[in-house]
Amino acid sequence: MSATVAEYAPRLEALARKLGLDYHPVDFELVPTTFMMEVAVYGLPVRMPHWSFGVRYIHQLIRRGMGHSRIFEVMFPGDPCHAYLVSTNTLAENTLVTAHVLGHADFARNNQLFARFEQMAGTHIVEHAAAQAHRIEAAVTEFGQQRVEAVLDAALALEPHVDTNTELHRPLYPARPETAPAASPEDPFHQRFKGLPGEKGAPATSKEPGRTPVPPNPEYDLLWFIAHYGPELQDWERDVFLAVREESFYFYPLFACQIMNEGWATYWHARLLREADFLPESMYLDAIKAHSDVVRPFAAEQETALAVNPYHLGFSMWENIIEKQGIEKARQICREEDDFGFVRNYLDRELAEKLGLFVFQAREDGEIKITARDIDGVREAILAPKFNFGAPRIYVSELRHDGTLVLGHDHHGDGRGLDLDRATRVLEYLRRVWRRPVILHTADAHGAAHELTARKNG
Amino acid sequence: MSDDLVTPDGQPPSRISAEVSWYDLFSRGARDWLRHNEKVREAVKQRVREFISAPDVLTRAEGRTVLVPVRLLEHARFRLRDPETESGAGQGAGEPGQVLRPAQPQAGKDEGAGRGGTGEGEVNFVVELKIDDILDWLWDEMKLPELKPKQSSAVEDTELVREGWDRHGARSRLDRRRTVKEAVKRRAIQEHPVPFTDDDLRFRQLVRRQKPATNAAVLFALDVSGSMGETERRLAKTFFFFALQGIRRQYPKVETAFLAHTVNAWEFSEEEFFRTSGTGGTAASSAFNLGFELLHSRYDPARYNGYLFYASDGENAVEDRDNAAAALRKLTPELNYMGYVEIRPSHGRSSETEMSAILTELRHDHPAVGVARVTSQEDIWIALREFFQQQAGQAEAA
């Protein structure tokens, strides 16, 4: 069986290159379903051990047991890319998946978000993550499970709290404020500006030089901040935070481009199979059947779904774009956008109507109602879960002299306050590694300011 | 894969491999799941009393394990509070305003269930814990003393132990090492030695010796008269269960007998014991007399460490008072310990009852008698601690 996939794969690749796909080579590996499940749980083939993955693993097992979830393929961008196919899938399915992976590989090489990450972190993140996992396992041997777990509890809880707009390898804050431009008197523009009538010199800054506030501005990259400014962290603990942060950077393009990426890969597997005249007729039919299962918007025998299938949405959008504006335009979009730009700029009213997209509201009493079908509402409803890596906007607002860490939550921006129970527990995780008090400002159920504190012995 | 296939831009072609890999032999998911379970056990351990007090725990008591229902641990993350209404994007037919699903009568309670794909759902599972482990935790937590077998010389078993050698004996007790030694000595002084003679043979000998008894007999007596309701019985059952487990920790062999009484007393099997109910009056003396008979017919006080635990709501017929007191005076000296639990969940701790009056009097003469009152699950631990501490104190003193 595997030999036959290997037989078609090179010919599919030749076809893909002929059609203009441009990608790093892909290492395909046929793996058992159990391994596939684990990859889906961990997000990487080899990743640090943590009990929370065990919980996700059991959920995944249960879902698989109920037949709800079937994973066809997992692909890790890099050079080479790594793709895993399920060894028990049929030949037709795996042929389809091979074509699909080539689409992903093309996307990952060309999209700007992926390219930016690759440029910052290199192309061997899979190997890198494995090395980090081994270092953490070594730390377990050296420092004991409890201590390593405490660090991972904190670091993994903050997984989405990174600032992907900053550099992966980012310099520390400058020690003193960069001398204000006003302080350079020889600047001819400022000299003449000051000479204007009615213009006084800048008021003498009363701030004593030396200590700048840390952070100088609200800092949204919590993992980075803790790794570098934790007052009592040991080096290996800082490394754990940075390891989680690096993986988080790696996951971000996948997260932020899911609709585009899955749609693109689906478009290409459909097209490659259609044009692969070397495939036997029966296999093509089987593969296309698998394709229609993947892009099905609703569960069987249902007419509505309370979720949008990213494969279906992305695929429909790419077909629409390519049909109306041509493949070159599509390639440009593929390079330049992420899901936010993609959905806002290219999901038009006509397509949304054709797909039957709507906004719904679910009340606590269980009533679910369609509330709108206008295009702006639909776009924002699709994108809402993707803002800020899907997490509340939490920032470091102050590092006090006594080492107290003060966090803030942008509850105006997020629309409501945090789940206080969970937030308290996260603060407790943090306190154990920060080793000084940790404070968080958010809003309570009535929108009033609320302060949570985690400190030792209470 | 053919080698002639070189990609247009000169890059190496992709490859497919299918060799057996490490992941066939090792599951990270299972490893982390085990670690999760370990943490659950730690959590259970820390709150073992709460868990064990849950009424559904003891159902598998006949085995050596109990099943404790627990929740999966959640790794907390920052999350927005649940909104009153949740919006999302969906796909399909329908006009704005159309209700896709009407309000569910109970949806408010099972929070989030069925909501559009928000999460992983609640998975409950049970951990199976060894009763011995739980008891270890409990004993640690409550700092309960270990029981000591009765030190009295009256409680003795005989056992056969090896002691000494003889030139005659059964073949099975031939001591080869010693026999060879004898042969070596003999050959050293003989001029024409033969390998073995009958005189070389040495056999191990056995002698009878007395040793302290390590058997325990535990009698459980329960008042099943009309006034003992379901709650009372459940409390009694929980108490008995842990009392028995505590004794089992100390004795390798524990025998049990279950007595229930109204005006008369009967012996029951363990299963029937708690299901039995009777009506009418209460004469505790019947149970104590039956206990005395059993002790003498089946569990010879010279061979067994005897324990009696009696649970009742404290009511006893006034005319039975003298009989009951007399029966107890006869029975108690034969026992290591006698514990009385008064179960009065609905009465509070106020009034002095018939039974407690009898027992309090008995305690003056017999220090190995304990009295405790139980009104709720939590009291059971207090009662257990009292009994075991008092009893260990007795053993020290003896």
A41-70 pLDDT, tens digit each:
998 988 999 999 999 988 888 877 766 667
The domain total for chain A is: 2
Mean pLDDT of A364-384: 90
Q: Of the ranges A247-261, B33-47, B129-143, which is most confident?
A: A247-261
Note whether residue A201 is domain-resident.
no
Note whether residue A410 is domain-resident.
yes
Note whether residue A43 is domain-resident.
no
- Which token pair is B277? 């109910």
Q: Do A359 and B29 lie within an 8 Å CB cutoff?
A: no
Taking CB atoms and an 8 Å cutoff, what residues of chain A touch B78? 157-158, 161, 391-392, 394, 409, 418, 422-423, 426
Same domain, A375 and A424: no
Pick B77's closest partner by Cβ from A56, A363, A422.
A422
Note whether residue A79 is domain-resident.
no
Residues 6+ apart with CB under 8 A from B391: B147, B336, B337, B368, B370
pLDDT value at B57 more than 70: no
Of B15, B165, B293, nearest to A13 (Cα)? B15
- Which token pair is B300? 């010879």
pLDDT value at B19 more than 70: no
Higher pLDDT, A360 or B270: A360
Taking CB atoms and an 8 Å cutoff, what residues of chain A touch B20? none
- Residue ending a domain, among A365, A390, A415, is A390
Same domain, A433 and A349: no
Note whether residue A332 is domain-resident.
yes
Q: Are the C-beta atoms of residues B201 and B242 closer than 8 Å to each other? A: no
- Mean pLDDT over all residues of chain A? 88
Share of chain B above pLDDT 70, in %: 74
pLDDT tens per residue, range A117-164: 999 988 888 889 999 999 999 999 999 999 999 999 999 999 999 999
Residues 6+ apart with CB under 8 A from B266: B259, B260, B290
Pick B76's closest partner by Cβ from A359, A385, A425.
A425
Give the sheet arrangement for strand A394-399, strand by strand.
A394-399, A405-409, A438-443, A449-454
Of A54, A5, A52, A57, nearest to A36 (Cα)? A57
- Chain A: residue nearest B40 by CA? A51
Same domain, A413 and A320: no
Q: How far is B80 from chain A (nearest CA, A)?
A: 4
- Which token pair is B257? 């007998």
Range of the domain at A340: 300-390
Q: Do B31 and A54 lie within an 8 Å CB cutoff?
A: yes
Q: Nearest 5 degrees, angle CA A38-CA A43-CA A48?
A: 80
Note whether residue A155 is domain-resident.
yes
Taking CB atoms and an 8 Å cutoff, what residues of chain B touch A89? none
CA distance B11 to A288: 30
Query: What is the pLDDT at residue B3?
Result: 38
Same domain, A370 and A396: no
Of B369, B352, B354, nearest to B316 (Cα)? B354
Higher pLDDT, B19 or B4: B19
Q: Do A367 and B75 lie within an 8 Å CB cutoff?
A: no
Pick B92's closest partner by Cβ from A52, A298, A382.
A298
Q: Do A371 and B96 lie within an 8 Å CB cutoff?
A: yes
Q: Do B29 and A358 lie within an 8 Å CB cutoff?
A: no
Q: Do B90 and A304 lie within an 8 Å CB cutoff?
A: yes
Query: What is the ipTM, given to two decimal places?
Result: 0.84
- Residue ending a domain, among A349, A370, A390, is A390
Q: Do B7 and A14 lie within an 8 Å CB cutoff?
A: yes
Residues 6+ apart with CB under 8 A from B331: B288, B291, B292, B295, B308, B338
Query: What is the pLDDT at residue B394?
Result: 64
CA distance B356 to B350: 12
Q: Nearest 5 degrees, angle CA B112-CA B118-CA B123?
A: 65
Q: How far is CA A109 from CA A101, A271, A317, B15, B257, in A?
A: 12, 19, 20, 18, 77
- Mean pLDDT over all residues of chain B? 76
pLDDT value at B397 more than 70: no
Same domain, A318 and A426: no
- Listed as own residue / partner, the contacts of A119-123 with beta carbons closer than 8 Å and 24 or more positions apart are A120/A167, A120/A168, A120/A169, A120/A249, A121/A168, A121/A246, A121/A249, A121/A250, A123/A24, A123/A78, A123/A79
pLDDT tens per residue, range B180-233: 999 999 999 988 888 888 889 999 988 887 776 677 888 899 888 877 777 788
Could you give phi then psi for residue A172, rounded to 5 degrees? -70, 165
Same domain, A362 and A318: yes
Query: What is the pLDDT at residue B5?
Result: 39
Note whether residue A141 is domain-resident.
yes
Same domain, A373 and A444: no
Q: Are the C-beta atoms of residues A80 and B13 closer than 8 Å to each other? A: no
How many CA atoms lie within 13 Å of A418's alpha carbon, on the beta-carbon side? Answer: 27
Same domain, A148 and A217: yes
How is residue B287 annotated by DSSP? H
Residue indicated by tokens 């037989």: A7
Q: How far is CA A305 from CA A266, A289, B93, in A?
A: 20, 21, 9
CA distance B242 to B384: 8
Same domain, A310 and A423: no
Q: Are the C-beta atoms of residues B103 and A365 closer than 8 Å to each other? A: yes
Could you give phi then psi for residue B161, rounded to 5 degrees? -125, 155
Note whether residue A95 is domain-resident.
no
Tell me the β-bridge partners of A388.
none
pLDDT value at A408 more than 80: yes
- Residue ending a domain, among A371, A390, A409, is A390
Mean pLDDT of A212-230: 92
Same domain, A229 and A150: yes
How many CB atoms lie under 10 A from the CB of residue A207?
9
Same domain, A358 and A316: yes
Same domain, A217 and A135: yes
Pick B78's closest partner by Cβ from A35, A370, A391.
A391
